Amino acid sequence: MTESRERSRRGRVRMSSAERREQLIDVARRLFAERGYDQASVEEIAARAEVSKPVVYEHFGGKEGLYAVIVDREVRTLLDVIRGSLSRGEDRELIESAALALLDYIETHTDGFRILARDSSVGTTGGSLASVLGDVADRVSELLAPEFRRRKLDPKAAPIYAQMLVGMIALTGQWWLDNRKPRKQDVAAHLVNLAWNGLRGLEAKPRLQGTHDLS
């Protein structure tokens, strides 16, 4: 062994199995966010972590297993964040909380959101961003239905509006991820402005105007 390699080996901090696992997850998360699943390789993950390829296989069984762990973690984190935002307040405050919660997640878990926003179904069940947002929309639908009844609107339409609300916030969040302007609070304020002021004027039986609605 050369002198430089010996110094490098001595300079490395020996990690426990749990610490090594977390290190590999952190390294792989950054790489998957940069390049996507297909373009990332076990070789590069191992090189960035300064370990051999067998170490990656030992902990995760391969790239697919490592990717699945990362996606599952991000799914749980995002769901916890948004569900928490929907557990308090009412009406406009809930919309504000949900919008800010998603933007907070994008800001603090940028790599994770980039991974979820891609096709993140490799090796997972229900691991795509669409499936996560679908779960959130179900929760929003449960909150909207009583309000629809109170306003004498059809509660069966609540899931439709829930999907629109969640989709609007999520797509705006993806746009904001790349622009980061205006500031997060201003983006959330504009989202709530559209959602809230539109909801206040809901028609009991909305129809398309002109020739679009031929029924």
Supply the mean pLDDT for the chain.
83
8 Å CB contact between 173 and 81: no
d(C-alpha 95, C-alpha 160), whole Å: 16
Contact criterion met (CB below 8 Å) for 31 and 56:
no
pLDDT at 200 over 80: no
Residues 42, 180: Cα–Cα separation, whole Å = 32
pLDDT at residue 4 in the model: 45
Q: With 90 as the cut, is the pLDDT of residue 111 above it?
A: yes
User: What's the pLDDT tens digit per position in 61-78?
Assistant: 999 999 999 998 988 898
- Nearest-angstrom CA–CA distance, 182 and 141: 29
User: Over 90: is that where the pLDDT of 129 sits?
Assistant: no
Note the pLDDT of residue 212.
47
Hey, where are the domains in the chain?
72-201
Q: pLDDT-derived band of residue 211, with 50, 70 and 90 as boundaries?
A: low
pLDDT tens readout for residues 156-186: 999 999 899 888 988 898 899 888 888 888 9
Under a CB-based contact definition with an 8 Å cutoff, are residues 75 and 127 in contact? Answer: yes
Percentage of the chain beyond pLDDT 70 is 83
Token readout for 63 is 């790239």
Share of the chain above pLDDT 90, in %: 36
Mutual angle of helices 17-39 and 110-117, in 10-degree steps: 40
pLDDT at 13 over 80: no
CA–CA dist 215, 198 (Å, integer): 24
Residue 143 confidence (pLDDT) above 90:
no
Please say whether the structural domain 72-201 has been given the CATH code 3.40.50.300: no
pLDDT in tens, 80-106: 888 888 777 777 888 888 889 889 999
Residue 210 has pLDDT above 80, yes or no: no
